[in-house]
Structure 1
Amino acid sequence: MAAAAGVKRRALLIGALLATLLPLGPVTPAQARSVVDSTGRQVEVPDTITRVFAAGPPANVFLYVLAPDKMIGWGRAPRDEDKPFLLPAARDLPELGRLTGRGDTISIERLMASHPDVIIDFGVTSDTYRSLADRIQSQTGIPYLLIDGRFENTAAALRLLSDILGVRERGEALARAAEASFAEVDRVVASVPISARPRIYLARGIDGFETGSRGSINTEIIERVGAINVVEGVRDTGGIARVSPEQVISWAPDTIITMEPAIYRAIMERPEWQVIPAVKQRRVILAPNQPFGALDLPPSVNRLIGLKLLLHKLYPDKVSSDLRRELREFYRLFYQVEISDADLQRFIDAIGN
């Protein structure tokens, strides 16, 4: 009887000790909050977020611009020539791989081993991406946020994610800058008759014959600057496509834009390009691609500087702002680096201003 009472007392003591070690209620409500992403998904995220995994290249740029101190790595490590245009603390972060884009390159095991507080994706928010987000979140237990990456949604996206990440002041500054850029575009484009707007071909890939069809997130900048994307009939609306020299010749663009010096040289030198009006008129624009493409590659907030570049190049008599100053201020605000006079001059020379 006494032995049984002793066992009972020990059990009660152990139970009391365990009660002091265990939380008084479920962990999630005390340590998390509920947020709503761009698709309307309600996601539980930690109160304080310090480690963020970007699901693909657009999200990587978006996160770097907004909260570089919360990055845990790159989907693809920056090239050596890109690193001077990035913050020292971010430029040498590890290459982790990606969940979205042209094939996933990170395993679930490595993703979990990197211990992110949240996963973000920035770009298309279709059912396909929503399904992926739900699946990864279910498999890993890591909150997965989808942010609408349409160009027009840039300011709203900056405000949404900055609020979630706790960097509201920076997000507001960036959002206002984005709104100012779009407002300037609207002002300029409104003064240009449709008949006078340029017909543009975006040259990508290894040879310039990869491009984006009308409606593609990769060519949004063309339509947003009031121009006409000549690429049609290669596939349904949107997406990247391979095209032939004959197709480009038949579209007869009066302007070609690219971000790759090798493609620019090929366009200016190879015979198959010489019959195209843009080449005959020397209207081939080489936009900066450091640290990210100014027009695309990836289609993220880096495209905002492409708007300013195209406005100056396409409508020079309609723009009174100083492109040098705008370039310098963009790199300072968005990329948080000071661009050198030599690099600034190189960019200006390349686009022909």
Structure 2
Amino acid sequence: MKVCTKFKVIFIATVVFIWGAGFCHAGLITDMHGREVEVPDQIHTVFGTSPPVSYMLYAIAPELVAGLNFPFREKEKQYLPARLQTLPVVGGWFGQGRKPNLETLMQVNPDVVLAWYMKNSPVSRKAEEMLIPMGFRLVYISLDKLEDYPETFRFLGRLLHREKRAAALADYAQETIDRIKAVRDAIPESDKVSVYYAEGMDGLSTECDASVHAELLSLCGGKNVHICPSRTIYGMEKVSIEQVMHYAPEVIVSYEQGFYDAIFHDPRWQNIPAVQNKRVYQIPSASLNWFDRPPSFMRLLGARWLLNKLYPEKYDVDIVDETQRFYSLFLNVSLNRKAAADIIEP
């Protein structure tokens, strides 16, 4: 026990020394949780403690990203800068009980650690209790709702001295949210479409109506059929096929391509209105999922896609053109129409 304690003291002292040695000019900022944090005037490296945070960094300043939460999948790599693919995998606080490799984090030694502050979440407390005593500069941002994204982009722009870039992203986010809410709010409650969000290869996992993982449904005027209090932030609530039959959703949105490929041939699903009326839609997922897991800025494009699927007569958008515009702005990727169409329906 004494040896272990001695190692921890040395470990923390080493981190604090490295942190202090790299600390030149600094200033106080107020983060999005209202905490005052001293940060360098010039920030050269940043680590995000979870994928939603890291993805915000990818959009604003990929050159500042210090480490990854997990390795990229093959279909993600072609739309992200090559530099990101060579970064060390640090891990982070996300998913079910995950935590970072502190030794790798110490080696990466970011100027700032960004975290999503989740009210009353043990995840936020654990990150804070571990990182601050080790000398890391922890800055909280707000990502609870997609409506937080415009201000969060602007905050990060000020923090990272990327105001112009952040303003362009924030303006797109606000334009999207305003447009979608205007369309949604004009739809009578009686005309709103019931939706089941199918997760898992069998389609029998889903999200409660208030879950962050299903936020796009209510934002776009869909009525989530699975009404319940979320047990955990992770979600993935198990349901039975009988329960889905009882819900009788008019639309199904599918997370897994394998489930989507099978649903029209699976006899268990054939009496569900969404299947009968061919209103089952596969969520696009390149480079990152447009809907969920992890929730990210891609949901701004996903919201436009979903609103068009739910209410095509009320929101008639050229989603291929919108995809080209979005990828150019957020990912600095130029797509021709065929490439954009292939992303939407691979």
Contact 2:33 2:117 in 1 (8 A): no
Matched, 1:197 2:192: yes
**How far apart are 1:278 and its partner, in Å?**
0.9
SS of 2:75's partner is coil
1:163-178 to 2 correspondences below 5 Å: 163-178=158-173
Question: Whole-Å Cα distance in 1 between the matches of residues 287 and 147 of structure 2?
Answer: 22
Shift in Å at residue 142 of structure 1?
0.6
Match of 2:332 among 321, 336, 347: 336
Are the counterparts in 2 of residues 259 and 294 from structure 1 also a CA contact under 8 Å? no
SS in 2 for 1:316: coil
| Cα distance between partner residues in 1 of 2:104 and 2:24 | 28
Matched residue of 2:177: which SS? helix
| 1:169-218 Cα distance to aligned partner (Å, 9 max, x none) | 11111000000001110221122111111111111223222221111111
**Which one of the candidate residues 155, 168, 180 is aligned to 2:150?**
155
Residue 181 of structure 2 aligns to a residue whose secondary structure is helix
The runs of 5 or more residues in structure 1 that have no matched partner are 1-25
> How many residue pairs align between the two structures?
325
Letter in 1 for 2:190: S
* Distance change >3 Å, CA 244–CA 75, structure 1 → 2: same
In structure 2, the CA distance between the partners of 1:327 and 1:134, relative to structure 1 (3 Å rule), is same
Q: Which amino acid aligns with 1:90?
A: L
Aligned counterparts, 1:55-74, within 5 A: 55-74=49-68
Structure 1 residue aligned with 2:26:
32
SS in 2 for 1:140: coil
Equivalent residue letter for 1:31: H
Deviation by residue 1:24-56 (Cα, 9 ceiling, x = unmatched): xx9899622212222212222111111111111
Match of 2:17 in 1: none
Identity, in percent, stands at 32
Shift of 1:284: 0.7
Flag structure 2 segments of 5+ consecutive residues without an equivalent: 1-19
2:321–2:337 contact (8 Å) kept in structure 1: no
C-alpha separation between the residues in 2 aligned to 1:238 and 1:111?
25
Match of 2:312 in 1: 316
The C-alpha deviation readout for 1:254-288, integer Å capped at 9, x for no partner, is 11112321121132222222222111111111121
Shift in CA distance, 308/211, structure 1 to aligned 2, threshold 3 Å: same
Root mean square deviation of aligned Cα: 2.2
Match of 1:272 among 268, 278, 283: 268
The alignment status of 1:97 with 2:91, answered yes or no, reads yes
The one-character-per-residue Cα deviations of 1:126-155 (angstroms, maximum 9, x if unpaired) are 352442232123332111122111211110
Instruction: Look up the match of 1:307.
Output: 303
Aligned partner of residue 37 in structure 2, secondary structure = strand
Matching residue of 1:10: none
Matches within 5 A, 1:49-60: 49-60=43-54
Q: Is the deviation greater in 29-38 or in 284-293?
A: 29-38
1:251 aligned to 2:247? yes
- Aligned 8 A contact 2:184 2:219 in 1: no
Residue of 292, 312, 321 corresponding to 1:296? 292
SS at match of 1:139: coil
Q: Aligned partners of 2:268 and 2:254: how far apart in 1?
A: 17
Pick closer, same or farther for the CA change 1:235–1:175 going to 2, 3 Å.
closer
TM norm structure 2: 0.87
Secondary structure of 2:127's counterpart equals: helix
Q: Could you tell me whether the CA contact under 8 Å between 2:210 and 2:229 is conserved in 1?
A: no
Supply the AA of the counterpart residue of 2:218: E
Structure 2 residue 137 is matched with structure 1 residue 143: yes
Pick the structure with greater CA Rg: 1
